[in-house]
Amino acid sequence: MDRRDHELWNLKRRITLLGDKVTPGANGLKLDFSTADSLAPLNIVNQGTATADTGWKLAKPYLQVGYDPNYQDGLDTDAILFLDLRGRTTAKLEFGLQCDTEEGWDFVEVQVTNNASKKVLFSLSGKADMARYSVDLSEFAGQDNVAVHVRFTSDSNTHFAGARVSDITLQ
């Protein structure tokens, strides 16, 4: 795998795990954290106070930040999925998410980057029970350097339980 085609947009981040670029098959891609033995093919990138212990981690049945104990102040952690979407004309990302953060200050976002841009496609702050969410990635279909970031950020004070992702599906 040639890593030169992946541009990390902040080289000061600490990389906990660097997985491969994924080409979803005809049936798409499903990451089910209840049965996962590792974070692969996700890439965990931490900055601020985030470390391997405080950033995104696998805590079956979830990918989570916080929740035992609560998350820390000053976190900035990404779970990144590098995708090759060539050969696709549409793409949709679905995920299960539970969130308990300081409303208006601490966020879970889904961002997409490619060689040309960065876009926030989803943002959630505050308290939300586990629910299904989806974002349309069709504008990135046909491209081979697409990075989907599930990003968690917290400010410098007041923290709550955290965020949990049950699964990620690309169709």
**Tally of domains in the chain:** 1
Domain of 138 in residue numbering reads as 3-170
Instruction: Please report which helix (H) or strand (E) contains residue 99, including its range.
Output: strand 92-100
Query: pTM of the predicted model, to two decimals?
Result: 0.87
Cβ neighbour number for residue 39 with a 10 Å cutoff: 18
Q: What's the mean pLDDT in 73-81?
A: 94
Print burial letters for 69-106: b (CB count within 10 Å at least 16), e (below 16): eebbebbbbbbbbbbbbeebeebebebbbbbbbbeebb
What is the tens place of the pLDDT at every residue in 13-29?
A: 444 445 679 999 999 99
Please, are residues 14 and 56 in contact by the beta-carbon 8 Å criterion? no
Which CATH number goes with the domain that contains 150?
Answer: 2.60.120.200
Share of the chain above pLDDT 90, in %: 74
